[in-house]
Amino acid sequence: DGGITQSPKYLFRKEGQNVTLSCEQNLNHDAMYWYRQDPGQGLRLIYYSQIVNDFQKGDIAEGYSVSREKKESFPLTVTSAQKNPTAFYLCASSAGTVNSPLHFGNGTRLTVT
């Protein structure tokens, strides 16, 4: 079955360390997205990519970085510059057009202490 795989489900890191969250899709979608979810805040867009080797900052990109070397993969790195990295991170993909719904992975819960 086609879908989006995020790994790991839970991730623990010490403050000051960079950490990379994995996102892979086999839906043949052009566009991929990273959202951050905090209680009571809804989903906030971190980065998105409409095509391989190209990506744009979302609303809260500071302290994060991404790459899109392959159509199927869109890893997110949470750097030590992110002031409050503990959150639930959701990866999504879509066909990319304005009326395309997003398909979501099951998320990665990152805890930084």
Partner 1 sequence: AQSVTQPDIHITVSEGASLELRCNYSYGATPYLFWYVQSPGQGLQLLLKYFSGDTLVQGIKGFEAEFKRSQSSFNLRKPSVHWSDAAEYFCAVGAGNSGYSTLTFGKGTMLLVSP
Q: How far is the CB of 66 from partner 1 (least distance, A)?
A: 14
The gap between the terminal CA atoms of the chain, to the nearest Å, is 36
Nearer to partner 1, 41 or 113 (CB): 41
Q: How far is the CB of 20 from partner 1 (least distance, A)?
A: 19
Residue 23 and residue 104 in contact, taking contact as beta carbons nearer than 8 Å: no
DSSP labels, 42-83: EEEEEEEEEETTEEEE-TT-TTEEE--SBTTB--EEE-TT-S
Encoding tokens for residue 50?
Answer: 């409409």
Interacting residues toward partner 1 by CB under 8 A: 4, 6, 31, 33, 35, 40-43, 45, 48, 50, 58, 90, 92, 96-107, 109
Longest dimension (CA), the chain: 40
Q: How far is the CB of 1 from partner 1 (least distance, A)?
A: 14
Nearer to partner 1, 10 or 15 (CB): 10
Nearer to partner 1, 9 or 83 (CB): 9
Nearer to partner 1, 14 or 98 (CB): 98
